[in-house]
Amino acid sequence: MLSLGYDSSDSQLPSPSHCVPQHDAVAFVLSLFIILGLVGSYIPQHYRIISTGTGEGISPWFLLLGATSSASSFLNVVVLQWSVVRCCEYWSPSSCFESVLGIIQVGLQFIMFSLIFVLFLIYFPTRTKWVRVIPVSPSEEVNDPLGSYLAQHSPKIQSGWTTRLSALFWPSTGLRVRRESASSDESDGSSFDPRSALLPSASRGAMLSYSPAYRLSVLLGVVTLVYTIISAIVTILLLSTLPRSSDIPEDTPPSSPPNSEHASARLIRHWATFLGVMATLLALCQYLPQLWHTARTRLVGSLSIPMMLIQTPGSFIFVYSLAVRPGVNWTSWAVFLITGVLQGTLLVMCIFWKTRQKNLGIDDYGRDLDSAASESAQERTRLLQPPTRTHSHASGPL
């Protein structure tokens, strides 16, 4: 459950009298069921990207908002339940595990969603990952000393990570196609293949560079990583400032009233509020880029319909189980209700596009099913066909 505040009473020093484990068999079984369902719901999406070898159809902005929202939710829950974590030193391993299941749930959700982002970058479609850039004038190469230097020196330098990083964000420093004196006729309708662009028969003076779409996706991935690292560092530093029970002798009288708030707890409360607000705002905006992208392309792409079939009803079940709890108001479950409605909208849209694709005879990526099946069958026949043996007969006397 996402909370937007920090309870100062949780900042009490851990002690055997304060740390009393609460066992609830029903809640424990329900938490385990939610964890299994959470992990199982993401597996179809991971498998789809890996099996198809592409993440085409998924919006990188959707992944950015989802990953940063999940990171904020995870750190928010860690801060809110830090007193429970500190009490684990007085509990048995089983009691500690049961008490931190809430942290484990949100942490697994963050890991499973972030893995989609990682697979999206690893399996970025090749045909949209590269673009061929041709200088508009000879002076363009002169104005690019770094690109000229990299093009004239050894391939060992060009394969370094610094060159690849510079080529990622500055297209002018991309790998240049080898110049050849012989010309070759190239069909304008042929699809672009970066491997053929590196052949000697490629266009003279052309330059191979990462596409703007791929550079944007990597940039959003870097932003997500930096945001997560900075937020985690701030959280660790703030939590480390809380006093420990071993630092204060038992006979020492309290220097402040029992109900007073520790200075560090005040900062942690504000930080937990910030994380909760960020998680809520990012979650509310998460599905908007994906809805727009899917509506514009009119294709399912690499989105997993089975994943949404599992998660959409699960969102409403989770909202109901949260709403019937005592002391919970609408602010606690409203964000989950909105995201569930948006995910359900995306699910309905994908089912509609899936039906449209079937009627048009195209696959999830807009390719003709008949031609794709024919090419696949021809390739399979060629691979299964035994090699033809040629017998040479010697002529003349032995």
- H or E element in which residue 176 lies: strand 175-176
**Is residue 35 exposed (0-12), middle (13-18) or buried (19+ Cβ within 10 Å)?**
middle
pLDDT at 245: 56
Residue type, 154: S
Phi and psi torsions of 176, nearest 5°: -90, 145
Q: Which residue has the tokens 């007193």?
A: 83
22-36, 148-162, 364-378, range with the lowest pLDDT: 148-162
Average pLDDT estimate for 328-346: 82
pLDDT at 122: 95
Q: What secondary structure does DSSP assign to 274-330, as a single string?
A: HHHHHHHHHHHHTHHHHHHHHHHHT--TT--HHHHHHHHHHHHHHHHHHHTSTT--H
Q: Which residue has the tokens 């991971």?
A: 46
Average pLDDT estimate for 353-362: 93
Identify which of 54-68, 176-190, 252-266 has the greatest average pLDDT. 54-68
Q: How many of the other CB atoms lie within 10 Å of CB of 272?
A: 24
- Give the pairing type, strands 207-210 and 175-176: antiparallel
Average pLDDT estimate for 160-173: 50
- pLDDT-derived band at 183 (thresholds 50, 70, 90) equals very low
Q: Are 154 and 163 in contact (CB under 8 A)?
A: no
291 CB-side CA count, 13 A = 14
Looking at the chain, the whole-number percentage of residues with pLDDT higher than 90 is 38
Average pLDDT estimate for 134-162: 51
In sequence order, the 6+-apart residues with CB closer than 8 A to the CB of 248 are 13
- pLDDT-derived band at 248 (thresholds 50, 70, 90) equals very low
Q: Are 31 and 108 in contact (CB under 8 A)?
A: no
Residue type, 293: H
Q: Coil, strand, or helix at residue 354?
A: helix
Average pLDDT estimate for 28-40: 87
pLDDT in tens, 222-237: 999 999 999 999 999 9
pLDDT in tens, 46-64: 999 999 999 999 999 999 9
Token readout for 51 is 């099996």
- Taking each helix axis as running N to C, give the angle between helix 263-285 and helix 212-240, from 0 to 180 degrees, rounded to the nearest 10: 160
pLDDT at 91: 87
Phi and psi torsions of 171, nearest 5°: -60, -25
The DSSP letter of residue 88 is G
Spatial separation of the C-alpha atoms in residues 236 and 312, rounded to whole Å: 34
Better-predicted residue by pLDDT, 367 or 112: 112
